[in-house]
Amino acid sequence: MNSKTAYAALADHFRDVVALGQVSGLLGWDQETIMPKGAAAQRSEWMSALEKLSHSQRTDPRIAEWLDAVEGADLNMVEAANVRLIRRQFERQSKVPAALASQIARVTSQAQGVWAKAREAGDFSAFQDVLTEVLALRREEAAALAQGGNLYDALLEDYEPGMKEPELVTLLGGLRDGLVDLRGRVGASDAVIPDIQGSFSHGQQTMIAHELATAFGYDWSRGRLDFSVHPFSSGSFNDVRITTRVSETDPFNCFYSTIHEVGHATYEQGISQDYGLSMLGRGVSMGVHESQSRILENQLGRSRAFTGYLFNRMTEVFGDFGISDAESFYRVVNKLHRGFIRTEADEVQYNLHVLLRFDLERKMIAGELEVADLEAAWNERFEKDFGYPVDQPANGVLQDVHWSVGLIGYFPTYSLGNIYAGELFAAMSGDLPDLQEDLGKGDTKAALAWLGDKIHQHGALYEPRETITRAVGHAPTAKPLLAYLNAKFGDIYEL
């Protein structure tokens, strides 16, 4: 078999692999949004069967033959990147027994329903046994992948290829010190920032959420907006769906969750159509993905300019809601507040939530923390970092869906995304002198075009670190993010 024929076979085979992954994602979206509650057991069997089929496709023995045939071939940049990603996935998947992959799919599908019920009941003990099982399965998978190496690195590779635990600890550890210092200085400030007042109807919030999604570039012909307990974006390429949630006393929850998920969605929708059902036709990593949601939500969406636009629109729709002018509204939107929920946290404290989870899950994977002790460890760390105790499990250890579905190694990518967003915003601001003027009109076209050129169109063509480095001109650090946060909140709180 010549290299040209082998590459064609690889590309054709992985069209099916990618398509099966997208079907699995659609089933996951359905489970989180409109699936009947009584279908949970049946859905777990569907997911298990689909995973068996997908695993057999991903580990087909012919892939090794095709990869051998293209070794050393004269491939163009796109073909070489596609082969690199196929090889990486094949080598990883081949290390994981099919029975284990199927069991993980079955148990995590069931665990998601158990978590939801435990969260509603506020009872961690009801979730403890199945989480113990999920953790054991993921540790078994990590051991198969690591083959004697670092277990957490093996899991992290699924979400941020090339990143290692020691490097991540250093990068995020430096971030934590600066955030704790800034939070302390804000807490000592005498600045008084009011809250919004009134009730904001579901229908009116949904209308503005649709407007915001459109303003931030969401292509409705390839997506839809639904509602879920935990907002998320699902899908890829030409079918990318988002969810949000509504609190009639807190419209910002809906609005900024929507903008956040649109950041993920526009990344997927912006990938070059040439990459289609290939390994390149997706976001390169969860850290880079998160950078796209965070830069839209925070640096753009919570800017003084854009909040001025949003203030005028909310006034038109809701009338008087207790805030008299755009400057006061900007301060309200960015107010540091006491709270428990990661997804509702302000920019300063958000990463402290992530670092808590990062440290706890590393300890669980290393065998230094048992699931039975997780709730106590969470509560202790939370009070130390935030200065007040967790009031109930739903606001603490049970608030996130991630561990129930086996996403261990995922949490640190949220903070990586913030770090990357800090770098991207600094570079974007230098390239777009009219950025703030545009945002004041609710116009994000230039910003989205910049992101499309630097990030979106490339999909997974480059490695994560290379993607960001090419966009900003140097290896990423936490310095731009900390500088942005200190400048912004120093101004708001008159530090």
Task: Give catalytic residues, as residue numbers.
Answer: 261
Alpha-carbon gap, residue 38 to 114, rounded angstroms: 13
The contacts of residue 400 (CB under 8 Å, 6+ apart) are: 230, 342, 357
Give dist(CA 268, CA 281) in Å, integer: 8
Does 260 appear as a known binding residue? yes
Q: How far is CA 431 from CA 249, 297, 455, 482, in A?
A: 39, 20, 15, 20
The answer to whether 129 touches 111, Cβ cutoff 8 Å, is: no
Q: What is the rounded CA–CA span in Å between residue 346 and residue 334? A: 7
CB atoms within 10 A of CB 40: 17
Hey, what are 191's tokens? 């600045």
C-beta separation of 1 from 69 below 8 A? yes
Q: How far, in Å, are 224, 267, 371, 426 from residue 15 at the CA level?
A: 24, 20, 39, 37
User: Which residues have C-beta within 8 Å of that of residue 357, sequence separation ≥ 6?
Assistant: 342, 400, 402, 411
User: Half-sphere exposure (CA, 13 Å, Cβ side) for 123?
Assistant: 7
309 CB-side CA count, 13 A: 19
Tell me if 126 sits within 8 A of 118, measured CB to CB: yes
Residue reference for tokens 């459109």: 214
* Radius of gyration of the CA atoms of the chain, in A: 23
The CA distance from 25 to 30, in Å, is: 9
**Rounded CA gap, 269 and 380, in Å?**
41
Q: Is there a contact between 10 and 83 (Cβ–Cβ < 8 Å)?
A: yes
What tokens appear for 80 in the block?
A: 């070489």
Cβ burial, residue 367 (10 Å; 0-12/13-18/19+):
exposed
Q: Environment class of residue 434 by beta-carbon count within 10 Å: exposed (0-12), middle (13-18) or buried (19+)? A: exposed
CA dihedral 222→460→25→445, nearest 10 degrees, is: -30
- Binding residues, as ranges, are 260, 264, 290
- Binding residues for Zn(2+), as ranges, are 260, 264, 290
